[in-house]
Amino acid sequence: MVYLPPAFAEKRPEILINHIERYDFGLLVSQGEAGLVASHIPFLTERGGDQLHLQGHLARPNPQVADLARGGEVLAIFHGPHAYISPNWYETGPSVPTWNYADVHAYGTVQLIEDEEWLRRFLVRLSDRHETRNPVPWRMQDLPEPYAQAMLKGIVGFDIAVTRLEGKYKLSQNRPTADRPGVIKELEARDDGEPRAVARLMREREPV
């Protein structure tokens, strides 16, 4: 479990799922015979009624595949924007430096999928999702079939039935009201997109 003070807890399902879909290159963590194992991979979400599924794939030689085959609980971590916060930005004090950030942890039970048609459909969805940003999108369907089949044999899919979502949005909610405008102003003045994204999340949560 993540350390989650009540002030930083984000519990709204639509916010948490939107976060996963926006920051979809996640970290899959599982417990294996040799200890904890982790892989950085792109995910897709699948919603069936009230049940959220996270889907992805791993290279067949990845030792995590054998660990996932045993089942059990896994954790997928989706890092959002983050930024250093200086005490000089506060109106009140004394204080110390800290870090503002947004993360979502998804826990669930995993099932491996080796069905070629499922894998093919998944990879088409995955590539289409990211290729839409390109002027001339690449299409998996245009690959020579022998090559596509060879590639499919080299991967294993998985489906995580999510049992719990935890969102930690640490955005200066624990600071006095007078301190937050200065933090937002400083973050918005940065050239880096990450601090600006943190500022945007802070503004969304400020009282009207």
pLDDT, tens digit, 9 for 90 and up, residues 183-198 = 999 999 999 999 999 9
Q: Does 99 fall in a domain?
A: yes
* The pTM of the whole model exceeds 0.85: yes
1 is a domain residue: no
Whether the predicted pLDDT of 162 surpasses 80: yes
Q: Which residue type does 138 have? A: W
- What is the mean pLDDT of the segment spanning 114-137? 96
In a domain, 207, yes or no: no
Residue 208 within any structural domain of the chain = no
* Closest-CA residue to 186 (of 207, 173, 172): 172
What is the pLDDT, as a whole number, of residue 32? 86
> pLDDT above 90 covers what percent of the chain?
91
Q: The domain spanning residue 30 has which CATH number?
A: 2.30.110.10
For residues 139 and 124, give the distance between their C-alpha atoms in angstroms, rounded to a whole number.
8
6-59: per-residue pLDDT in tens?
Answer: 999 999 999 999 999 999 999 999 998 889 999 999 999 999 888 999 999 999
| 3-state secondary structure (DSSP) of residue 23 | coil
State how many domains the chain has: 1
